[in-house]
Amino acid sequence: MRPGVDLVVVGLGYAGLPLAELACRSGLRTTGFDVDDTVVATLTDGRSPVAGVADADVVAMLGSGFTASTDPAQLGAADVVVICVPTGLTGDRVPDLEPLRAASATVGDRLRPSTLVVLESTSFPGTTAEVVLPILERRSGLRAGEDFYLAFAPERIDPGNTQFGLADTPKVIGGHTPLCAKYCATFYSRFVDAVVVARGTREAELAKLLENTYRFVNIALVNEFARYCDTTGIDVWDVVHCAGTKPFGFASFSPGPGVGGHCIPVDPVYLTTRAGQDGFTFTLVEAAARVNEHVPTRVVDRAGSLLGDLRGASVLLLGVTYKADVPDVRESPARPIAAQLLARGAEVTYHDPHADALDVDARPLRRETELRAAAAAADLTILLQDHQEYDPVLLANAARLLLDTRGKISGSRVRYL
């Protein structure tokens, strides 16, 4: 371990590794800590374990002096520690803060005076002050705002976005005290174009939840529109296209097979859970959740109506990642769709150029590698994600019957939700 580093990133996943890469590129002496031996070994070997950071980027990081380690001793040498651990859901669909508590304890055991500690992991308002701060103070014996500095700065990673990255996406920060905010803003200003200072940590925490809940609710709204249009024989894709031409007052969202990813289906749960603890009910958000949860069932129902009987039918799923052109299958709607198809007696396989494996109810789903042959053999092909690799003409001609959940393909054998 080299003495004195500018930054240690705790958690080298989809949020932490891009942050470390940008910091290295900006000239900051940076190291990384992760409890996963495989992640550390992959990085040490010059390979990237996440999308959005190329192997060449990791090689450049190593060349700049970056090291990844499972040894927490390096935390004691840092001027800044940024926590980027997962904040997902338990099996019961409630917020899981155990990784965050464990990371906070690890940092607190090695915290030295004048260190800036920043939490980037998404969570409900009050997490920084009520969960992270007490652990840091108890384990270190230091006082936040006096002996060390504490802030919240939510990650705003958008996998697959080629227009906006970390550097040119404004960074929201909220400090435990005004002085904490000042140190945090100064730190991010070294490699981010614009810093937005929130009134405090709770405001910054809730801002991140608002961003993704906004998307969650609007996805539910357009999925409701799709159901109505199907009932009345109106072309929902044309409706969305026409409404989207308005240059003000409207943000366009498209129907689909359901919501997925680490943020959109997860963050509203953090919001409504905390709101319930505060004696408040987000009626609109809970209604949106019911709509979005039903969409995979609607896909399967539509498949059943097209085939008449799903028992013994062969169904090919195209694109099982949660988003087009990314390799991430977290919370993908493909899983509940596949599970329901299997439960109704269908034989299900999938094709996806980005996903090497997909498990459904702890069982691996068979992956097809020859797209044209697989589509020609299946009784029904269902397009879930419109990856760039998928040629609409090829699919329209190859598939015996195709259910397009994205409104991208036309042809005599194509049907829509």
Question: Which strand ranges, in their side-by-side order, compose the sheet holding 366-367?
Answer: 366-367, 347-351, 314-318, 380-383, 402-404, 414-416
CB 140 within 8 A of CB 76: no
Beta bridge partners of 380: 315
CB 350 within 8 A of CB 367: yes
What is the helix (H) or strand (E) element at residue 60, kind and residue range?
helix 55-63
Q: How far apart are CA 317 and CA 387, in angstroms?
A: 13
Six token digits for residue 259:
């919501």
Q: How far apart are CA 354 and CA 78, in angstroms?
A: 36
- In this structure, how many other beta carbons lie within 10 angstroms of the beta carbon of residue 178? 10
CB 134 within 8 A of CB 165: no
Helices (H) and strands (E) in the chain, counts: 14, 16
Among 120, 115, 114, 79, CA closest to 99: 120
- Is residue 242 part of the annotated active site? The answer reads no
Question: Quick check: helix, strand or coil at residue 303?
Answer: helix
Q: Annotated catalytic residue: which of 24, 84, 184, 263?
A: 263
Paired sense of beta strands 78-83 and 380-383, if any: unpaired
Backbone angles phi, psi at 93, to 5 degrees: 65, 40
User: Taking each helix axis from N to C terminus, what angle separates 267-277 and 283-307, rounded to the nearest 10 degrees?
Assistant: 140
For the residues of 84-128, what is the DSSP string, one character each? -----B-TTSSB--HHHHHHHHHHHHT--TT-EEEE-S---TTHI
Q: How far apart are CA 31 and CA 5, in angstroms?
A: 7
Q: How far apart are CA 297 and CA 367, in angstroms?
A: 22
List, by residue number, the catalytic residues. Answer: 263
